[in-house]
Amino acid sequence: MAARRLAFHGRSHHRRGTLLRRARRHDATRRRNVHLLTRGLLPALGFLYGWTLCTVIQTGTIAAVAIAFARFSGVLFPSISESHYLIPPIHVSSGYAFSLSSAQLVAIGVIAILTWTNSRGLQYGKVVQNVFTVGKTIALLVLIALGLTLGWNAAAVHENFSNAWTARGVSPLTAGLSATTAFGLFVAICVAQTGSLFSADSWHDITFTAGEVKNPRRNLPLSLAIGTSIVITLYVLANVAYLVTLPLVAIQHAPSDRVATAMLQTIFPTLGAALMAAAIMVSTVGTVNALTLAGARTYYAMARDGLFFQSAGTLNSARVPAWALLIQGLWATFLVLPRTYNPATQTYGNLYSDLLDYIISAALIFYILTIAGVFRLRIKKPNADRPYRAFGYPWLPALYIVGAVAILIVLFTYRPATTWPGLIIVILGVPVYFLIARSAQDRKMPDQELP
């Protein structure tokens, strides 16, 4: 299902990327991810995307991946845990609390260090990114190879694949709703999409640089096809490796949801957990670095347009938007601290899963609007040059919108504690836009090219 959505979304994103590729300056290109919606729908939506990127999507993803780093650090250093509190939970309502555990502190440290290294200059960020990108790709390939060879477990294969349609270890979704019913299964599938959507996010960023791509008619669809194919292949193979190594019950009850660690621990009982933890830590550092590097430049572009804090539109002596980096880092740090609380069970929510719901529910809104913009552009600019025509238009984009809307409705209905805060923040961006748009022209700065 994730692969299908990835393909549908890719076709529509590329159509918009090639249609709006006229900008040539580096700074203008980076503004495209704020203004991608502007021409297709309404100018305010371009600002809302940038607002949501800063307050929910980009910063929330940085916080979530930093939490993932801390979780796997706990394999090597058991004192790092979400339940090892330095400051016990302080309840601000019946369903929410703020806390500072050792895991949260480590996550904050990762955010702070990578914000600082990126403020030292683009070259620092590039070096960190290249090293960790190569490292995490190799780690994933090794994980897949080990699972499909040394980890092959005939008993697990028989259990997982011989009774594939038999429900096992089912937990109720809510009171009175279980995945063993048709509707319950539909809800469970929709809720489960947060993980796959999160893991596949940002694959479409190549369309933001359409104005600087040589021969975009050929290279944009090629890059999207190659990129999505590699991601789909790696993720499917990783899941196959889990299923041929571990029985379903071991996957369902992997400590702190660390399935890859459980798999390697089965293969290498003494070193497996540590090896996998180290590999995931490398991967997550690379991801946080990439998100930190890219996100601040969007807020910088917004500030240059007079639509964000003016200080975020300035460069430091290393010619990077240090204030934008700092603002992003501070908000991401804040998002590490809250946690949900279930009064009925008296348990606290999973920090990582809570952040995924928070991010994806907001991101899906703009995915839907982006695809809707394709239809409006077709009506608004019927004679515009379209170097690339997406296969399956209008049915595939329409199908994507229907599926995404269904997932959104389910998330807002069955995960309200983690999804509604993101929606409220998105809505708050509307009055903010109308307040600052009046004087945006006065605050607008001349174009300044980033390195």
Answer yes or no: is pLDDT of 267 > 70.
Answer: yes
- Residues in Cβ contact with 340 at an 8 Å cutoff, skipping those fewer than 6 apart: 95, 96, 97, 348, 349, 354, 417, 418
Q: What is the CATH number of domain 2-443?
A: 1.20.1740
Mark out the alpha helices in 85-215 (DSSP H runs).
102-119, 122-148, 154-162, 182-200
Pairing of strands 96-101, 338-342: antiparallel
Is 196:160 a contact under the CB 8 Å cutoff? no
Element spanning 341, H or E: strand 338-342
Answer yes or no: is pLDDT of 208 > 70.
Answer: no
| pLDDT for the residue 126 | 67
* Tokens, residue 341: 């609380």
| pLDDT for the residue 412 | 94
pLDDT in tens, 162-200: 877 777 778 888 878 888 888 998 999 998 888 878 876
Q: How confident is the model at residue 7 (pLDDT cuts 50, 70, 90)?
A: very low
* Separation in Å, CA 32 to CA 23, 370, 429: 9, 12, 19
Distance CA 203, CA 392 (A): 21
Q: In this structure, how many other beta carbons lie within 10 angstroms of the beta carbon of residue 416?
A: 14
Break the chain into its structural domains and give their ranges. 2-443
Place of tokens 């982006």: 370
| pLDDT for the residue 335 | 95
Mean pLDDT of 14-35: 43
